[in-house]
C-alpha cells in the first residue's frame, strides 16, 4: 500500500503547477491586456485543461514505471501501448454490442471521448488499473527469452504480446462490469453530497489524522481524481474528480456562474494557512525562556514552508510524536473549521498561499466568498493558539523547547545554516549521513519521495540510526517495519536525487 501511494503521487506533483499556470493565464486574458497576450494565454490555458481532461494515461505511466524493478523505459512504452490497445478494443466492443452512445450527448452515459476515441468512462481508475497490471506483467515476463526464430520476440515484446490479451479481457470487463461498479461509485458520491457537514468533517479529520501513516493519500486521491469527487460538464467537456473540475472552472472563470459542490474537498488547508501560525506561536510561547531563540529558528521556517507550499508535514512532525494528544486535537480542529467554512458558504480553493491568492483572485469573491475566509481565518489562528497553549501547559506536553536537554534539537540543526537551508558545501556530507543513518549502502533497497518525505525501503530496520538521521535537518522520522520515511519538507526530492546518485540507483 505504501508503494502504491508513492507511485500514484507522481502525476499529482504537476497539478499545483498547472493550477498556477491556468490562474496566470486567466489574469493575462483580462480586457486591458493586448490581444496577442490574451491569445497566447488562452492557448496555454487550453493546453492545461486538455491535460487535466486526460490524467488517466499519466497515472498509468507513473504506476507502471514506479512498480517496474528494471528497464523503466520499456515499462513506460509498454503501458502506453497497452493503454492505446485497450482504448481501441473497448471502442470496438461498445460498437459491436450496440452500447456506443451518441458522441454528441455523452454526459451521464458512462462513456467519454479520450485522445479522440469514445470509450467507457472509468476516470483515472483506468490508468491506475492498467498501470498496476503492466508493472506486474513487466516484472514477471520481460526477462523471458527465446532461442531460434523466436529470439527477437523475447523480453518486452513478449510482455506486450501477453498484454494484448489482458487488454482484451479488461475491455470486456469495462463494457459489462464497470457500469455496475459505476452505480456503486455514484451511490457513494451521492452519500458524500447528502451527508453535508458530517461528510466534510469526517473527510478533513481523517485526511489530517492519517498523515503520519501515509494512508491519507487513499482518502483524498479518489475524491480529487475520480468520479467519487463529482462529475461536471464545463464548456462542453466532462470532468471527473474535484481537482480536474476546479481547474476547469478556473480556466473558464469568465463563463461560469457557480462553483461545483466538490469545492468542499479543498477546505482542509484553511488549517495550514491560518491554523499552523497559531500552532507555531503556541510552541514558541510555551518553550522555556532560555530555549525560545533556538525554537524560533526551528518553528518559524517550518511554518513558513507549510503556509507557502500548502503542506502539513514539516509542522506536524514537530509535535505528533512528542505530544500525540495535539495530533488528534489538530485533526479535530481541521475538521471543525473545514466544516464551518462549508456551512457558511466558503468555496475557496485552498492550496499553498501563492496558489490560494492567485486562483481565488481569478474566480472572484462572488463565487468563492473569500472575504468570509478572511474573517474565519484569524479566528482559526486564535483558536489553534489558545487550544494548543492550554493543552501544552495543562498536561505538561514535551513540545520542542520544553525539555531540559536540547541536544537532539541541536543535532538536527547541525547541517543547516543560519537561514535554515542546506549550504552547497554541506550537501555531500548530508547525503553521506542519510545513507549511513539508513544502515549503509547495502541496507537500502529502494528510494523515492513524495512532497515532503524521503521514502526508503530497507533490508533491516534495526540498522537505521535515528540519531544520525537527525543530523541531516529533518523534522521527523516515521518507521513502519522496513519502510522508513524521513520528513525534509520541499527538499525531499533533492535528497532523493542525491542519495540515488550516490548509490547508483535509478532516479
The three-state DSSP-derived secondary structure of 24-54 is: HHHHCCCCCCCHHHHHHHHHHHHHHHHHHCC
Question: What are the DSSP calls for 126-138, one per residue?
Answer: HHHHHHHHHHHHH
Phi then psi dihedrals of residue 106, to 5 deg: -90, -20
List the single range of 103-107, 349-353, 444-448 with lowest mean pLDDT. 103-107
- Is there a contact between 489 and 452 (Cβ–Cβ < 8 Å)? yes
Q: Is the pLDDT of residue 410 over 60?
A: no
| Of 286 and 451, the one with more pLDDT | 286
| Of 213 and 210, the one with more pLDDT | 210
Q: 218, 198, 200, 221: which is closest to 210 by C-alpha?
A: 218
Question: What percent of the chain is predicted at pLDDT more than 70?
Answer: 91
| Of 221 and 120, the one with more pLDDT | 120
Average predicted confidence (pLDDT) for the chain: 86
List the single range of 119-123, 170-174, 376-380 with lowest mean pLDDT. 119-123
Specify the pLDDT at position 411. 39
- Could you tell me the pLDDT band of residue 1, with boundaries at 50, 70 and 90? low
List the single range of 235-249, 262-276, 352-366, 400-414 with lowest mean pLDDT. 400-414
- Could you tell me the pLDDT band of residue 389, with boundaries at 50, 70 and 90? very high
Specify the pLDDT at position 91. 95
Say how far apart CA 69 and CA 223 lie, in whole Å: 29
Question: What are the DSSP calls for 349-396, one per residue?
Answer: --SSHHHHHHHHHHH-HHHH-HHHHHHHHHHHHHHHHHHHHHHHHHTT
- What three-state secondary structure class fits 457? strand
Specify the pLDDT at position 507. 62
| Of 263 and 312, the one with more pLDDT | 263
Paired strand residues for 232: 239
Q: Is the pLDDT of residue 415 over 80?
A: no
Query: Can you count the helices (H) and strands (E) in the chain?
Result: 23, 8
Question: What percent of the chain is predicted at pLDDT more than 90?
Answer: 44
The three cell numbers locating residue 424? 552547497
Task: Quote the DSSP letter at residue 313.
Answer: H
Specify the pLDDT at position 435. 93
pTM of the shown model: 0.72
The three cell numbers locating residue 255? 463563463
Q: 342, 76, 24: which is closest to 196 by C-alpha?
A: 342
- What three-state secondary structure class fits 415? coil
The predicted-structure confidence for 440-474, as pLDDT tens digits, reads as follows: 999 999 898 877 789 899 999 999 998 888 888 78
Specify the pLDDT at position 416. 39
- Section 54-82 average pLDDT: 92
Specify the pLDDT at position 463. 94
Task: Quote the DSSP letter at residue 100.
Answer: P
| Of 91 and 313, the one with more pLDDT | 91
Largest CA distance in the chain: 80
Specify the pLDDT at position 425. 42
Q: 318, 491, 340: which is closest to 401 by C-alpha?
A: 318
- Section 313-333 average pLDDT: 89
- Section 26-51 average pLDDT: 87
- Could you tell me the pLDDT band of residue 193, with boundaries at 50, 70 and 90? low
Q: Name all domains of the chain by residue range, CATH numbers in brackets.
A: 70-176 (no CATH), 194-394 (no CATH), 410-503 (3.30.1360.60)
Say how far apart CA 452 and CA 139 lie, in whole Å: 29
List the single range of 72-81, 150-159, 191-200 with lowest mean pLDDT. 191-200
The three cell numbers locating residue 79? 503501458
Specify the pLDDT at position 317. 79
- Could you tell me the pLDDT band of residue 180, with boundaries at 50, 70 and 90? confident
Q: Is the pLDDT of residue 92 over 50?
A: yes
Q: Is the pLDDT of residue 413 over 60?
A: no
- Section 309-338 average pLDDT: 89
The predicted-structure confidence for 151-169, as pLDDT tens digits, reads as follows: 888 899 999 999 999 999 9
In the chain, the N- to C-terminal Cα span, in Å, equals 21
- Could you tell me the pLDDT band of residue 408, with boundaries at 50, 70 and 90? very low
What does the CA dihedral 271, 272, 278, 281 come to, rounded to 10 degrees? 160
| Of 102 and 89, the one with more pLDDT | 89
User: What is the sign of the dihedral through the CA atoms of 113, 115, 119 and 124?
Assistant: negative
The predicted-structure confidence for 109-155, as pLDDT tens digits, reads as follows: 788 888 889 999 888 889 999 999 999 999 999 988 888 888 888 89
Q: Is the pLDDT of residue 214 over 90?
A: no
- Section 354-373 average pLDDT: 92
Amino acid at each position: 500500500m505504501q508503494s502504491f501511494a508513492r507511485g500514484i503521487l507522481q502525476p499529482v506533483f504537476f497539478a499545483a503547477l498547472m493550477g498556477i499556470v491556468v490562474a496566470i493565464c486567466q489574469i493575462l486574458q483580462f480586457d486591458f491586456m493586448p490581444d496577442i497576450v490574451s491569445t497566447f494565454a488562452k492557448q496555454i490555458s487550453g493546453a492545461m485543461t486538455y491535460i487535466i481532461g486526460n490524467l488517466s494515461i499519466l497515472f498509468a505511466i507513473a504506476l507502471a514505471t514506479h512498480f517496474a524493478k528494471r528497464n523503466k523505459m520499456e515499462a513506460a512504452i509498454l503501458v502506453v501501448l497497452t493503454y492505446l490497445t485497450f482504448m481501441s478494443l473497448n471502442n470496438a466492443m461498445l460498437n459491436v454490442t450496440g452500447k456506443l452512445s451518441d458522441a454528441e450527448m455523452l454526459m451521464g452515459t458512462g462513456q467519454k471521448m479520450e485522445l479522440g476515441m469514445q470509450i467507457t468512462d472509468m476516470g483515472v481508475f483506468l490508468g491506475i488499473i492498467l498501470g498496476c497490471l503492466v508493472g506486474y506483467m513487466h516484472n514477471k515476463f520481460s526477462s523471458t527469452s527465446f532461442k531460434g526464430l523466436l529470439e527477437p520476440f523475447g523480453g518486452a515484446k513478449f510482455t506486450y504480446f501477453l498484454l494484448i490479451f489482458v487488454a482484451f479481457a479488461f475491455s470486456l470487463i469495462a463494457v459489462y462490469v464497470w457500469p455496475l461498479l459505476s452505480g456503486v461509485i455514484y451511490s457513494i458520491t451521492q452519500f458524500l453530497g447528502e451527508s453535508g457537514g458530517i461528510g466534510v468533517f469526517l473527510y478533513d479529520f481523517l485526511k489530517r489524522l492519517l498523515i503520519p501513516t501515509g494512508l491519507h493519500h487513499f482518502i483524498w486521491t479518489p475524491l480529487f481524481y475520480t468520479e467519487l469527487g463529482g462529475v461536471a460538464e464545463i464548456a462542453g467537456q466532462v470532468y471527473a474528480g474535484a481537482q480536474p473540475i476546479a481547474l476547469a472552472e478556473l480556466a473558464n472563470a469568465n463563463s461560469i456562474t457557480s462553483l461545483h459542490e466538490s469545492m468542499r474537498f479543498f477546505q482542509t488547508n484553511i488549517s495550514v494557512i491560518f491554523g499552523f501560525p497559531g500552532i507555531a506561536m503556541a510552541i514558541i510561547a510555551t518553550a522555556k525562556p532560555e530555549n525560545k531563540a533556538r525554537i524560533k529558528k526551528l518553528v518559524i521556517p517550518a511554518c513558513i514552508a507549510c503556509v507557502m507550499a500548502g503542506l502539513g508535514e514539516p509542522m506536524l512532525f514537530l509535535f505528533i510524536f512528542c505530544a500525540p494528544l495535539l495530533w488528534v486535537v489538530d485533526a479535530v480542529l481541521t475538521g471543525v473549521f473545514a466544516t464551518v467554512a462549508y456551512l457558511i458558504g466558503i468555496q475557496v480553493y485552498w492550496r499553498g498561499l501563492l496558489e490560494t491568492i492567485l486562483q481565488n483572485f481569478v474566480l472572484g469573491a462572488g463565487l468563492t466568498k473569500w472575504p468570509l475566509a478572511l474573517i474565519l481565518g484569524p479566528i482559526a489562528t486564535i483558536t489553534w493558539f489558545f487550544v494548543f497553549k492550554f493543552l501544552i501547559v495543562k498536561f505538561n506536553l514535551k513540545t520542542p523547547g520544553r525539555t531540559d536537554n536540547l541536544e537532539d534539537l541541536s543535532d538536527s540543526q547541525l547541517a543547516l545554516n543560519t537561514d535554515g537551508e542546506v549550504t552547497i558545501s554541506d550537501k555531500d556530507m548530508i547525503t553521506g549521513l542519510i545513507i549511513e543513518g539508513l544502515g549503509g549502502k547495502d541496507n537500502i533497497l529502494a528510494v523515492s519521495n513524495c512532497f515532503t518525505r524521503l521514502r526508503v525501503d530497507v533490508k533491516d530496520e534495526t540498522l537505521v540510526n535515528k540519531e544520525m538521521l537527525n543530523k541531516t535537518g529533518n523534522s521527523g522520522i516515521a518507521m513502519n517495519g522496513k519502510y522508513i520515511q524521513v520528513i525534509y519538507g520541499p527538499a525531499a526530492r533533492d535528497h532523493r536525487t542525491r542519495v540515488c546518485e550516490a548509490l547508483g540507483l535509478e532516479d
